[in-house]
Amino acid sequence: MNDTPAAPLLDVRGLKVHFPVRRGPFGRVTGHVRAVDGVSLALRPGETLGLVGESGCGKTTLGRALARAVEPSAGRVLYDPGDGGDPWDVGALSRRGLRAYQRQVRVVFQDPFSSLNPRMTLLRIVGDPLKAHGLASGSELEDRVADMLTRVGLSSRYMRRYPHAFSGGERQRISIARALILGPRLVIADEPVSALDVSVRAQILNLLLELREQLNLTYLFISHDLSVVESVCDRVAVMYLGKVVETGPTSPLYAQPRHPYTEALLSAVPRPDPRLRGAGRRIRLADDLPDPARPPAGCSFHTRCQAAVDGVCDVPGRPPELAPAGEGRLTACHRATDLTLTGVPALGPAVEGA
Amino acid sequence: MTGLAAAPGAAGTTQTPEGPPTEKKGGAPPRDSASQWRLVWRRFRRHRLAMLGLAVTAALYLVAIFADFLAPFGTEHFDEDYPYAPPQTIQFDGGLHVDGYTTAVDNETYEQTFTTDPSQRIPVGFFVRGEEYRLLGLIPWDRHLFGPTEPGAPMYLLGADRTGHDLLSQLIHGTRVSMTIGLIGVVVAFVLGVVLGGLSGYLAGRADTVIQRVVEFFMSLPSLPLWLGLAAALPPEWGPLQRYFAISVVLALIGWTHLAREVRGRFLALREEQFVTAARLDGCGRRRVILGHMLPSVSSHLIAQLSLSVPAMILAETALSFLGLGLQAPVVSWGVLLQDAQNVRVLETAPWLMIPGLAVVVAVLALNFAGDGLRDAADPYRR
Amino acid sequence: MPPDLTTAPAAPRPAAPDHAPLLEIEGLKTHVDTPEGIVRAVDGAGFSVPRGKIVCLVGESGCGKSMTARSVLGLVEPPSRIVEGAIRWHRDGGESVDLAALDPRGEAMRAVRGREIAMVFQEPMAALSALHTIGDQVIEAIRLHLPLSREEAEERAVRLLTRVGIPRAAERLRSYSFQLSGGMCQRVMIAIALACDPALLIADEPTTALDVTTQARILDLLGDLQADTGMSVLFITHDLGVVAEIADEVVVMYLGTVVEHGPVDDIFHHPQHPYTRALLGSVPRLGTGPRQRLDTIRGTVPHPSERPEGCPFHPRCDVAVAGVCDRGEGPVEVALGASRGVRCVHAGAEGSAS
């Protein structure tokens, strides 16, 4: 059934999340926002998959749907529990099954301020998952919370404090502790560092990398920041208007993108070196993202694509499908074979340590 | 989790934990470890007017609790010989006393008028023996805080009404009913408002639509005619206690809608908070999410809202009773007392009958100030 | 009538006879009174903005960069106040004003604000009124400072909007801000800022709320506008990538003081201050490949109310000298060439980083 060498930890097939648009005093449904519109992905055990795209591309909704925080409208998600048994069909889980799934798949949220309940102490925030699952209580719970806090780099002495006493970086550590206390196998990290200061961001990224090694975690790393994604992720999936347009291992995908959208994204990333200013091809996309309730016909990117060809890319009912493009890569572009795209030249493994 | 425990202290050699949040120096306990309610209280204390309001409110409730002891006379006590007797002043000349009255009868109208007469002395003392009552409804006692040392002597510090009731005693006893009828009404309104508003906000969608239409229907009813209708429909044979509860329920039926809207708004906003999503993903069931995570976040707002709806209830009861449709004698409330002040001619001869109105104003203002302060202090994390 | 933006490459402003910088800030202290005590948001900051250059003010949250900009514009309101220092504004004719000494609400300040110095904010959606059309808002900005009729102002508004890259500008005059994307709103804000042809444009994190693709285009636009008009730009950002893309000169702030300033290439390739070096090390660079550890700065930026004694950076500094860096008022600025300065006891003594 699986054509990938290792059985995927999470196998997503044709997942859709459509939100109804309601109007009028009686909430009549007048349309749907196709936040996620037919996504297929495989997450292999132990890898970190980056999910990138502009705001509004559906990456956050996809993450929520995989954690079953929102209900998918269509498609299947298969989860391999790693006990040798059959994969679980996440959409069809019973209540108990769903609880077990949500123990193994945890989420780290973006906003370190709104994701922690201001009325609860650290002990309750981090310990509540254990309590809710009936895994620990009393002094055992406290010990495990203390252990977890130490592990994410916080002193367990602060267990009885409230989140408002902590800085953004420390709050994100708390958030990570809450996610990891249940001993998950997969962590969905939704923009975990984008609200943080530069110097603190590096600390949190390093912490995530360390925890992955120590705890054999698999990450789905959602971010709009392509340089952060490159430094953390083994593979990358690029999303546009609810669809995955390209996936592949990080280095080749960055060095030579196969989808014009990936190329445009990469060329827009500012490089922290004034000597690279103006180097490489500069591609500038039009500002306006199409309305996700009415995506363009054919390839949904054709309205902003510089390589779009009339009569090929804009034919209604003929969207490009994800197709193999060598090196374990997939791309959804009608012109994948006849385009040569430029990515980011490799700098070599290490810039001089400052 | 065993995997976690296998690598103790593995925070890493190169990892650089952030510095601990430093303890603030100074006398006050560090803000860091203070709980929600401590923070609310600290902010509330800085609000002078609110503190004053709270003090007055507390005093009024103390009066309500110890009314029997504080009032010189019971509610049943009256002296037909002294209709509309004017207020006396307490005087001191070695011992406390008030002046007695002399009567004059108008030759044409046969109207009796009273004037205080310094030649008569009615000695007054503290902890005097008077009518028997049960303190807090339990302890039988016959001492009053102050009163005429000789039981039955006329003492009308705030004047008397038509039948010679002591207005001061009536006012003190009325505090009990007026200040509590609002509370019971508010509790009923609170339960209705929180349950329906909470459901509306948490479930959203269709349930929300239905509940909101119901709320709008209730809000669109003109409240005074509705009260009047409901109050008039109460069976006349009902006793004072039954009437008391019935009236508070009538008041609550109107009052719950505002609370329901407030709760719904807060819940809708909270649903979008990431920590609520996080709680669901932590494995918390619906009940635990609502009661454990969402309700504590709105509780301080709810309490502020509650303290603001008590004065509305007091005013409503006063209005109903004033119109004669609410409580009726022998039950004493400020509104019932004000019934006597309906007649302009009576007010001309006995303006002191307006004093219960003053009590209403003081109570309502105090509760409003306290509620406002509480509302401002309710969110200690917004700076 | 001021030079027209649309008559392409307008002659650059005549250089001031004495080659004085456009804006000179010296020993600026802006403090905030809070119930907990005085917060020294800006604490002796000093730097200058030369004519016709883009100067980037970089720093993490709480470093006082925004407060510095607000001080320049006289937007400091109680409980904040300018305590000390000079903000010298040198007009073309050689005339100078100390903006710090002007009444923030006075006629003189209002003539400078909006007319000679304009500002663009971080949240374009919030900065535009949703009740008025964007045409009304641009025209109002023009007529506030220029004696033009409604028709002339409208004509100028269309030219301005076209110049900032808004397609079909004449039609868009009748749009409302909520009908435009974030990028478009930011373009409108820039058009409003440029309405009176200011000599200095202050841009406070103008691209932080935008997607990378939009950010790239806004940066291009600002660069082009600067080159065309010869105005100076004070660009405030926390993103070193953006700095490398756009800056001529860089000013690095930490806890209310300028720790280092100089030409962009020097700052990125020969950083002198340990903070600048650490900051550069903690930024992921495109092209270095996955799973790399980033250098971090230990600890977090302290709250400005808990400013350490001596050099503000010493508790986080790897080369801090005990007994020197942790007492007194902190190091004084060491000049390293005409437009370069560092506030560090090691300045000049240590070799450059690269």
CA-CA distances (angstroms) from residue C203 to C30, C73, C117, C220, C243?
Answer: 19, 12, 11, 14, 12
Minimal Cα–Cα distance from A173 to chain B, Å?
A: 10
Q: Which residue has the higher pLDDT, B203 or B280?
A: B280
Banded model confidence at residue B36, pLDDT cuts 50, 70, 90: low
Residue A94, in any domain of the structure = no
Q: Which residues of A touch C301 (CB under 8 A)?
A: 167, 197, 199-200
End-to-end CA distance of chain C: 50
Q: Could you give the CA distance from residue C110 to residue A215 in angstroms, rounded to a whole number?
A: 60
Cβ atoms of residues B29 and B36 within 8 Å: no
Within an 8 Å CB–CB cutoff, is residue B16 touching chain C? yes
Query: Letter for the amino acid at C263?
Result: P
Per-residue pLDDT tens digits for B66-114: 887 777 777 777 777 777 777 777 777 777 777 777 777 777 777 777 7
Nearest residue of B to residue C297, measured between CA atoms? B16
pLDDT score, position A107: 94
Q: Which residue has the higher pLDDT, B224 or C159?
A: C159
End-to-end CA distance of chain B: 39
Residue A80, pLDDT above cutoff 50 = yes
Q: Could you give the CA distance from residue B177 to residue B64 in angstroms, rounded to a whole number?
A: 8
Among A109-113, B351-355, C66-70, C280-284, the range scoring the smallest mean pLDDT is B351-355
**B24: number of Cβ within 10 Å:** 14
Q: Could you give the CA distance from residue B165 to residue B224 in angstroms, rounded to a whole number?
A: 30
Minimal Cα–Cα distance from A160 to chain B, Å?
A: 7
Within an 8 Å CB–CB cutoff, is residue A85 touching chain C? no
Name every residue whose Cβ is closer than 8 Å to that of residue B49 and which is 6 or more positions away in sequence: B369, B372, B373
Number of domains in chain A: 1
Cβ atoms of residues A283 and A267 within 8 Å: yes
Banded model confidence at residue B2, pLDDT cuts 50, 70, 90: very low
Query: Letter for the amino acid at C240?
Result: L
Q: Could you give the CA distance from residue B91 to residue B21 in angstroms, rounded to a whole number?
A: 64
pLDDT score, position B377: 76
Q: Which residue has the higher pLDDT, C124 or A107?
A: A107
Token pair 């007695």 is at which residue?
B100
Q: Could you give the CA distance from residue C34 to residue C32 in angstroms, rounded to a whole number?
A: 6
Q: Could you give the CA distance from residue C41 to residue A43 in angstroms, rounded to a whole number?
A: 46
Q: Which residues of C touch B24 (CB under 8 A)?
A: 36
Residue A338, in any domain of the structure = yes
pTM for this entry:
0.79
Token pair 């300045």 is at which residue?
C347
Residue A1, pLDDT above cutoff 60 = no
Banded model confidence at residue B15, pLDDT cuts 50, 70, 90: very low
Residue A158, in any domain of the structure = no
Minimal Cα–Cα distance from B43 to chain C, Å?
A: 11
Nearest residue of B to residue C299, measured between CA atoms? B18
Beta-strand pair C200-204/C232-237: parallel
Using CB atoms, pick whichever of B14, B19, B24 lies closest to residue C300. B19
Residue C14, pLDDT above cutoff 60 = no
**B39: number of Cβ within 10 Å:** 18
Residue A295, in any domain of the structure = yes
Q: Which residues of C touch B17 (CB under 8 A)?
A: 298
Nearest Cα neighbor of A148 from A169, A175, A121 is A175
| DSSP letter string, B85-122 | PPPP--EESSSEEEEEEEEEE-TTT--EEEEEEEEEEE
Contact call for C296 and B22, based on CB within 8 A = no
Residue C308, pLDDT above cutoff 70 = yes
Tell me the three state secondary structure of residue A245: strand
Residue B260, pLDDT above cutoff 90 = no
Q: Peptide bond before C2: cis, by omega within 30 degrees of 0? A: no
Beta-strand pair C54-58/C249-254: parallel
Size of interface A-C (CB pairs under 8 A): 183
Using CB atoms, pick whichever of B12, B18, B36 lies closest to residue A119. B36
Within an 8 Å CB–CB cutoff, is residue B14 touching chain C? yes
Using CB atoms, pick whichever of C220, C290, C353 lies closest to residue A233. C290
Contact call for A199 and C282, based on CB within 8 A = yes
Cβ atoms of residues A19 and A35 within 8 Å: yes
Determine the Cα angle at C248 with ends C242 and C254, to 5°: 65
Banded model confidence at residue B379, pLDDT cuts 50, 70, 90: low
pLDDT score, position B339: 78
Q: Which residues of B touch C313 (CB under 8 A)?
A: none
CA-CA distances (angstroms) from residue B73 to B121, B132, C10?
Answer: 19, 10, 95
Q: Which residues of C touch B14 (CB under 8 A)?
A: 293
Helix pair A138-151, A168-180: axis angle to 10 deg? 130
Per-residue pLDDT tens digits for C236-293: 999 999 999 999 999 999 999 999 999 999 999 999 999 999 999 888 888 887 777 7
Nearest Cα neighbor of A78 from A7, A141, A131 is A7
Residue A311, in any domain of the structure = yes
Cβ atoms of residues C188 and C148 within 8 Å: no
Nearest Cα neighbor of B152 from B79, B67, B71 is B79
Q: Peptide bond before A295: cis, by omega within 30 degrees of 0? A: no
Q: Could you give the CA distance from residue B365 to residue B54 in angstroms, rounded to a whole number?
A: 10
Domain that holds residue A275: 234-343
Per-residue pLDDT tens digits for C177-232: 888 888 888 999 999 999 888 999 999 999 888 888 889 889 999 999 999 999 99
Q: Could you give the CA distance from residue C83 to residue B199 in angstroms, rounded to a whole number?
A: 53
Q: Could you give the CA distance from residue A345 to residue A256 in angstroms, rounded to a whole number?
A: 9
Banded model confidence at residue B116, pLDDT cuts 50, 70, 90: confident
- Interface with C, mutate which of A203, A231, A263 (most C CBs under 10 A): A231
Measured over the CA atoms of residue C298, residue C299, residue C303 and residue C304, the dihedral's sign is negative
- Interface with A, mutate which of B18, B40, B282 (most A CBs under 10 A): B282
Determine the Cα angle at B221 with ends B215 and B224, to 5°: 130
Within an 8 Å CB–CB cutoff, is residue B19 touching chain C? yes
Q: Which residues of C touch A232 (CB under 8 A)?
A: 290-291
Contact call for A349 and C288, based on CB within 8 A = yes
Nearest Cα neighbor of B184 from B262, B263, B255 is B255
Contact call for C298 and B16, based on CB within 8 A = yes
Q: Which residue has the higher pLDDT, A210 or C124?
A: A210
Token pair 């123990």 is at which residue?
A103
Cβ atoms of residues A128 and B275 within 8 Å: no
Cβ atoms of residues A197 and A169 within 8 Å: yes
Within an 8 Å CB–CB cutoff, is residue C299 touching chain B? yes
Minimal Cα–Cα distance from B373 to chain C, Å?
A: 18
Query: Letter for the amino acid at A86?
Result: D
Contact call for B283 and A155, based on CB within 8 A = no
Beta-strand pair C249-254/C232-237: unpaired
Cβ atoms of residues A69 and A62 within 8 Å: no
Within an 8 Å CB–CB cutoff, is residue C296 touching chain A? yes
Q: Which residues of C36-74 are buried (b: 16+ CB within 10 A; e: fewer)?
A: eeebbbbbbbbbbbbbbbbbbbbbbbbbbbbbbbbbbbb
Q: Could you give the CA distance from residue B378 to residue B374 in angstroms, rounded to a whole number?
A: 6
Widest CA span in chain A? 68
Tokens in use for B131? 């009518």
Residue A186, in any domain of the structure = no
Residue A122, in any domain of the structure = no
Per-residue pLDDT tens digits for A113-166: 888 988 888 999 999 999 999 888 889 999 999 999 999 999 888 888 888 888
Using CB atoms, pick whichever of C36, C293, C306 lies closest to residue B22. C306
Tell me the three state secondary structure of residue A67: coil
Residue A77, in any domain of the structure = no
Nearest Cα neighbor of C179 from C214, C120, C132 is C132
Tokens in use for B137? 């409804």
Q: In three state form, how does the secondary structure of chain C look? A: CCCCCCCCCCCCCCCCCCCCCCEEEEEEEEEEEECCEEEEEEEEEEEEECCCCEEEEECCCCCCHHHHHHHHCCCCCCCEEEEEEEEEEECCCCCEEEHHHCCCCCHHHHHHECCCEEEECCCHHHHCCCCCEHHHHHHHHHHHHCCCCHHHHHHHHHHHHHHCCCCCHHHHCCCEHHHCCHHHHHHHHHHHHHHHCCCEEEEECCCCCCCHHHHHHHHHHHHHHHHHHCCEEEEEECCHHHHHHHCCEEEEEECCEEEEEEEHHHHHHCCCCHHHHHHHHCCCCCCCCCCCCCCCCCCCCCCHHHCCCCCCCHHHCCCCCCCCCCCCCCCCCEECCCCCEECCCCCCCCCCCC
Banded model confidence at residue A281, pLDDT cuts 50, 70, 90: low
- Of chain B, the percentage scoring pLDDT greater than 70 comes to 88
Nearest residue of C to residue B16, measured between CA atoms? C298
Within an 8 Å CB–CB cutoff, is residue B293 touching chain A? yes
Within an 8 Å CB–CB cutoff, is residue C306 touching chain B? yes
| Domain architecture of chain B: domains with CATH | 67-165 (no CATH), 170-377 (1.10.3720.10)
Within an 8 Å CB–CB cutoff, is residue B288 touching chain A? yes
The helix (H) or strand (E) run that includes residue A169 is: helix A168-180
Task: Tell me the backbone φ, ψ of residue A268, rounded to 5 degrees.
Answer: -85, -15
Residue A171, pLDDT above cutoff 50 = yes
Q: Which residue has the higher pLDDT, B271 or C309?
A: C309
Q: Which residues of A touch C287 (CB under 8 A)?
A: 230, 254, 344-347
Q: Which of 40-59 (C) contact A at CB < 8 A?
A: none
pLDDT score, position C243: 94
Neighbours of chain A (3+ CB pairs under 8 A): B, C
Q: Could you give the CA distance from residue A325 to residue A27 in angstroms, rounded to a whole number?
A: 45
pLDDT score, position A27: 66
Neighbours of chain B (3+ CB pairs under 8 A): A, C
Contact call for C315 and B19, based on CB within 8 A = yes
Q: Which residue has the higher pLDDT, B9 or C333?
A: C333
Q: Could you give the CA distance from residue A100 to residue A106 in angstroms, rounded to a whole number?
A: 11
Cβ atoms of residues B157 and B63 within 8 Å: no
Q: Which residues of C touch B22 (CB under 8 A)?
A: 306
pLDDT score, position C354: 37
Cβ atoms of residues B75 and B105 within 8 Å: no
Residue B311, pLDDT above cutoff 90 = no
Per-residue pLDDT tens digits for A15-56: 999 988 877 666 677 788 888 999 999 999 999 999 999 988
Nearest residue of A to residue C300, measured between CA atoms? A200
